[in-house]
Amino acid sequence: MDDPIQRETERAEPPVLELAPDEFAELYRAHSREIFYLTLRLLGEPHKAEDASHDVFLKAYKKWDDFRGDASPRAWLYRIAINHCINLRQSWHSRNLVSGVDESVWDNATAKADSPLRVLEIKELGDRIQTTLDNLSDEYRLLLLLVADEELSYDEIAVLTRQTADAVRGKLHRARKAFAAHFDKTA
């Protein structure tokens, strides 16, 4: 039997989630720091990361009507950030233009009570970690950052990267081995 009401229901678009400006401001406050940190690790330069994180929230605001609510808003923002950073890294400007990195971002990351020697050790370790991450494939870098820095579960990473949780586990194992091998070479 052909039921016209059922046909109309099947063709209906997913419901649009309403979001008032003050609610979006709260979303920004809740997630802007972690989105910035993710973009910083993916892009490696503070000013690019700042621009990218602003772009992520601008895209999210403009495309809020497309958010279906299948995942959490945090996961949706991460997916936008990941895609945006991949696009930036693949762009001509990213590969061919040299820009100055503002080292003060890293200098301000330590506590005031740290000794100069401790500050130097932390900076050198951070540089080694970033160099090692830069030598990994984009996929391995992303997986390591999501599990280590963002503390996401395998299932959450699977949703973000559009893989199964088992595939994420296997790739993370290989990514950790690659990281360890590259990290040893930077000593």
Into how many domains does the chain fold? 2
Higher pLDDT, 89 or 54: 54
- Amino acid identity of residue 137, one-letter, is S
Q: Report d(CA 154, CA 167) in Å as an integer.
A: 9
State the pTM of this model. Answer: 0.57
Asked if 44 and 68 sit in the same domain, the reply is yes
Higher pLDDT, 51 or 22: 51
Asked if 91 and 128 sit in the same domain, the reply is no
Asked if 67 and 116 sit in the same domain, the reply is no
Confidence of residue 15 (pLDDT cuts 50, 70, 90): very low
Asked if 96 and 154 sit in the same domain, the reply is no
Write out the residue range of the structural domain in which residue 52 sits: 19-100
Q: Residue 79 contacts by C-beta under 8 Å, 6 or more apart in sequence?
A: 71, 160
**What are the tens digits of pLDDT across the range 48-63?**
889 999 999 999 888 8
User: Does the residue 92 lie in any domain?
Assistant: yes
Mean pLDDT of 15-39: 80
DSSP letters for 139-183: HHHHHHIIIIIS---HHHHHHHHTS-HHHHHHHHHHHHHHHHHHH
Asked if 25 and 53 sit in the same domain, the reply is yes
What pLDDT is recorded for position 16? Answer: 43
Taking all residues of the chain, what is their mean pLDDT, rounded to a whole number? 78
Confidence of residue 151 (pLDDT cuts 50, 70, 90): confident
Count of CA atoms in the C-beta half-sphere (13 A) of 78: 25
Phi-psi sector, 94: left (phi>0), alpha (psi -120 to 50), beta: alpha
Confidence of residue 147 (pLDDT cuts 50, 70, 90): confident
CB 53 within 8 A of CB 32: yes
Asked if 114 and 92 sit in the same domain, the reply is no
Q: Which of 100, 131, 153 is the last residue of a domain?
A: 100
DSSP letters for 122-150: HHHHHHHHHHHHHHS-HHHHHHHIIIIIS
Q: For residue 164, give the CATH number of its domain.
A: 1.10.10.10
Asked if 123 and 184 sit in the same domain, the reply is yes
Q: Which of 62, 80, 100 is the last residue of a domain?
A: 100
Asked if 78 and 133 sit in the same domain, the reply is no
Asked if 182 and 123 sit in the same domain, the reply is yes
- Amino acid identity of residue 180, one-letter, is A
